[in-house]
Amino acid sequence: MDNYNPANLLLLLVILFNFFLLGSSRLGACIRTVAIQGGILSLLPLFLHGFTGHALILAGGAFLLKGLAIPFLLLRAIRQVHIKREMEPLLGYVPTLLLGTLATAGAFIFSDRLPLIEAHRGSLFIPVGLATLATGFLMLITRRKAITQALGYLIFENGVFIFGMLLAEAMPLMVEAGVLLDLLVAVFVMGIVMHQINREFSTMNTGQLSSLRE
């Protein structure tokens, strides 16, 4: 287990950022936090697999996209539409934080019972991955702003990324690059749609998006 230590520290940081994201109403801070979280995650392949070519390229690519390009797109989007805060979440910040805590605790308990292989037993990757997935889901469900929903999606993707770290040999570099590229384009398109939502509705609340129903 000892060789996992620096990675474990990073993973604990990821959990702390999860809590911050669930509790914060300032959009700029949230975007930067997701950026830092993405940046931290991009270091994981180096600690896990050493400085191999694959790990270096993966880390570099993930850092560029998750840490820089995507947050840049989102920050530009909120600058264009002049909003700073998530005003009215569907569920308050304290209840979501509580739910997040429960989900994180649940993730740790649950991953103890999973039929993991010997090398991964007790590792932090799986509980932290699950907890991050849960955080992303909570953001997606409880927030109304289009941008916080997009952030929820990104956090969710981060959770998938953590889990994927354990299986780096299954994912060839080309596919990994394709995954990251798809993510970038998806956020780019989301940014454009957000801009249009704001122009049409003069708000970015997705609660306004309710004309289409049965």
Site map (CB under 8 A) of other proteins, residues 101-120, x = contact: --------------xxx---
Q: What are phi and psi of 192, to 5 degrees?
A: -65, -45
Check if the beta carbon of residue 197 is closer than 8 Å to that of residue 146: yes
202 scored as a contact of other proteins (CB under 8 A): no
77 scored as a contact of other proteins (CB under 8 A): no
- Output the six-digit token pair for 62: 């993930």
172 scored as a contact of other proteins (CB under 8 A): yes
**Three-class SS of residue 26?**
strand
Q: Scanning residues 148 to 167, which ones bind other proteins (CB under 8 A)?
A: 149-150, 153, 156-157, 160, 163-164, 166-167
- Output the six-digit token pair for 128: 């932290």
Please list the residues that pair with 83 across neighbouring strands.
Answer: none
196 scored as a contact of other proteins (CB under 8 A): yes
Shortest distance in whole angstroms from residue 186 CB to other proteins:
5
Distance, CA of 205 to CA of 208 (rounded, Å): 6
Q: Scanning residues 128 to 147, which ones bind other proteins (CB under 8 A)?
A: 133, 140, 146
3-state helix, strand, coil in the chain (%, to 5): 80, 0, 20
Check if the beta carbon of residue 96 is closer than 8 Å to that of residue 22: yes
90 scored as a contact of other proteins (CB under 8 A): no
User: Residues interacting with other proteins, by CB under 8 A?
Assistant: 115-117, 133, 140, 146, 149-150, 153, 156-157, 160, 163-164, 166-167, 169-172, 174-176, 178-179, 181-182, 185-186, 189-190, 193, 196-197, 200-201, 206, 209-212, 214
